[in-house]
Chains A and B, each alone.
Chain A
Amino acid sequence: DVKVTQSSRYLVKRTGEKVFLECVQDMDHENMFWYRQDPGLGLRLIYFSYDVKMKEKGDIPEGYSVSREKKERFSLILESASTNQTSMYLCASSLDSGAQETQYFGPGTRLLVL
């Protein structure tokens, strides 16, 4: 079974702090994704990565950056957290870049920015 793990289930940070959300997958998947999930808005893609050191902006990249130094690990960075970044963050991975590929999701990190 594919396993996608996220470093924290719950996180509380202060406005202006730099925040790192970590995601690790154990199935040698090429693609990794970061989404945020908000009530009434569903999932929105922040960034994705096709390969190590490769990244592409999703639909809502403003205020975020990402890092993929190793194939299995994809980090989401909030350079200066703001209250409007309070949300549930979901990481996912898929075997390759085809749109038909199944995405496998981690359990999510619920971030509260005070």
Chain B
Amino acid sequence: AQSVTQPDIHITVSEGASLELRCNYSYGATPYLFWYVQSPGQGLQLLLKYFSGDTLVQGIKGFEAEFKRSQSSFNLRKPSVHWSDAAEYFCAVAPSVGNEKLTFGTGTRLTIIP
């Protein structure tokens, strides 16, 4: 079965600074990879997803993520964060074969300071 690890529980970043959220997965082949965001009091919203092809994926709200097979990673980045980016971010993995469902990481809470 696949698994996903988000090593950072909480990250604090100054507004305007760059951001990188880490995600590592365990799966025998190339999985489907996702980043979701949960703003306070809201459900989850998809930021971006990777299936195949170009390893740098662009998403909504100015986010991007890079798939690195050699490191089993799918880190999320943003060059300049805004106060509205304060939220919880979830990485998720789904197998590219078989019938298993999405497996979510434990989440990283992002705090933005002025």
**Residues of A near any B CB (own CB < 8 A):** 4, 33, 35, 40-45, 48, 58, 90, 92, 97, 99-100, 102-103, 105-108
Main secondary structure of the interface of B (DSSP, over half): loop
The size bracket of the interface on B is 20 to 34
**Which residue of the partner chain A has the closest CB to B102?**
A103
* B residues in contact with A102, CB < 8 Å: 34, 46, 49
A108 to B90, CA, bound (A): 16
Contact across chains for A40 and B9 when beta carbons are under 8 A apart: yes
Does any Cβ of A come within 8 Å of B41's Cβ? yes
Query: Looking at the complex, which one of B34, B42, B101 makes contact with A48 (CB distance below 8 Å)?
Result: B101
A102 to B94, CA, bound (A): 11
Query: Looking at the complex, which one of A40, A42, A45, A106 makes contact with B101 (CB distance below 8 Å)?
Result: A45
Query: Looking at the complex, which one of A40, A42, A58, A105 makes contact with B45 (CB distance below 8 Å)?
Result: A105
* B residues in contact with A99, CB < 8 Å: 32, 94-96, 98-102
